[in-house]
Amino acid sequence: MDAIIPPGSDADDGLAFRADAPEHPVGSRITIPVVGIGASAGGLEAFKDLVANLPDNTGLAIVFVQHLDPKHRSQLPEILGRATNIPVLAATDGMGLEANHVYTIPANVDLTIENGKLKLARRAKVPRTHMPIDRFLRSLADECGSRAIGVILSGAGSDGSVGMEAIKAAGGVTFAQDLASAKFQPMPQAAVATGCVDSILTPEGIASELARIGQHPYIVDAERTKPELTDGFDEKRFESILAIVYGATGIDFSLYRQDMVRRRILRRLALRGIRGLAEYSKRLENDSAEMRALQKDLLISVTSFFRDPASLELLKRIVFPRIVEGKSPKEAIRIWVAGCATGEEAYSIAILLSEFLHETSSTFQVQIFASDVRACSRYS
């Protein structure tokens, strides 16, 4: 094997690709949980049902992004204000977010969140399909990490599915409206098809879960609620959970980045309404479905094409020249990408190597092998 591109490691040589990419720091800019809710056709009715069933003191900031006619002023604040006692505001550029408030997207703009504030930009005129929900949810994942909550309600198309993947990858929580209650099914159906939706519920059920999960220590401010985790932050309990997982799956997660592993374990506690690691250990020992869910969370792929430019540049500038140096054109170049997630790393390296060989007028037969730990899992 001429070169092995390893999975994530703590090496400082800049050459490692990470299938378990760094998650966003918990609460790096915002200290309240933020819920991004996307909807299209039939979604307004679903959202009205949702907010009508929310208590006034969830501690959540809720941002509602709906597909709107760009030529007409949105009346969402007035319509929604009649369905809930929670204050409903039209988003403005630079507006800060407060808990127990609902914010709505105005017409003819793209909405994002940056440095703790809502940002508006005039809707770009592009030939491709406008995806305002994906745009907001991706910015929410970047900004809030584990405090991000994504919800997809009734609608046509697939807007929001990419954003849900981003939120799940960042350690947040995701919901989709169940198809039986959705007036238009394609949008929640597309979200569910990503495999990144934690719960599929009616709007009323989502409201109930938001009210519950909004009070869990994993979602709310970690420093403020740390005393509540008296049963949790114990090194031996985390080690015990990883030992249980190893015995069931054959994967040793003690070799993964421990901050990521622990955040994702605590995320499962929040989803299951469990507040302590000892209780969760017992749950894992007796619940194979929860074991599969935890493994899926720990192995979630956080990747994209050409996601680490610095590492790619080092491959092209240092590694590839060394591989071809003194090699006969009759010999094959073989590269193994160990820990390739969904394959973007392998394809990125193939493209980069092809460009290198073209630029250096080199001709070699190339073989690229890609593997991932999922293939070895007993729960795959």
Question: 266 to each of 22, 233, 244, 280, how far by Cα in Å?
Answer: 16, 10, 16, 9
Query: Residue 24's pLDDT is what?
Result: 44
pLDDT score of 167:
94
d(CA 181, CA 64): 19
* Mean pLDDT (whole number) for 78-82: 91
Give me the residues paired with residue 200 across strands.
Answer: 176
pLDDT band, residue 296 (cuts 50/70/90): confident
Separation of alpha carbons 307 and 309, rounded Å: 6
Residue 102 has pLDDT above 60, yes or no: yes
Q: How confident is the model over 324-333, as a mean pLDDT?
A: 89
The candidate with the shortest Cα–Cα distance to 105, out of 140, 143, 145, is 140
Domains of the chain from N-terminus onward: 3-16+307-376 (no CATH), 34-213 (3.40.50.180), 230-298 (1.10.155)
State the catalytic residue, choosing from 20, 134, 142, 159.
159
Active-site pick, 67, 146, 161, 198? 67
DSSP calls for 41-75: TTHHHHHHHHHHTS-TT---EEEEEE---TTS---
Catalytic (active site) residue 67:
yes
Place of tokens 């970047």: 142
Catalytic residue, chosen from 24, 40, 110, 146, is 40
pTM here?
0.78
**Tens digits of per-residue pLDDT, 205-222?**
999 999 999 888 888 754
**Collapsing DSSP states into helix, strand and coil, what is residue 25?**
coil
pLDDT score of 83 more than 50: yes
**What angle, rounded to 10 degrees, do the helices at 258-272 and 235-249 form?**
90
Q: Is the pLDDT of residue 58 over 80?
A: yes
Alpha-carbon span 225 to 209, nearest angstrom: 19
Closest CA to 185 of 160, 155, 163: 155
In angstroms, the CA 192 to CA 175 distance is 9
Q: What whole-number percentage of the chain has pLDDT above 70?
A: 86
pLDDT (tens digit, 9 = 90+) per residue, 130-173?
Answer: 899 999 999 999 999 989 999 999 999 999 999 999 999 888 99
* Burial of 291 from C-beta contacts in 10 A (0-12 / 13-18 / 19+): buried
Residue given tokens 């808990």 in the structure block: 99
**β-pair type (61-66, 109-114):** unpaired
Query: In this predicted model, what pLDDT tens digit does every residue of 172-184 receive, in sequence order?
Result: 999 999 999 999 9
For residue 53, name the pLDDT band (cuts at 50, 70, 90). Answer: very high
Instruction: Classify residue 243 as exposed, middle or buried by CB count within 10 Å of its CB (0-12, 13-18, 19+).
Output: middle
**CB count, 10 Å around CB of 79?**
14
- Distance in angstroms between the alpha carbons of the first and the last residue of the chain: 27
pLDDT at 227 over 90: no
Identify residue 259 by its one-letter amino acid code: D
pLDDT for res 260? 84
pLDDT computed for residue 244 by the predictor? 93
Catalytic residue at 234? Answer: no
Told to judge if 199 belongs to the known catalytic residues of this protein, a careful annotator would answer no
Whole-angstrom Cα distance, residue 190 to residue 280? Answer: 31
pLDDT, position 179: 96
Q: What's the pLDDT score for residue 377? A: 53
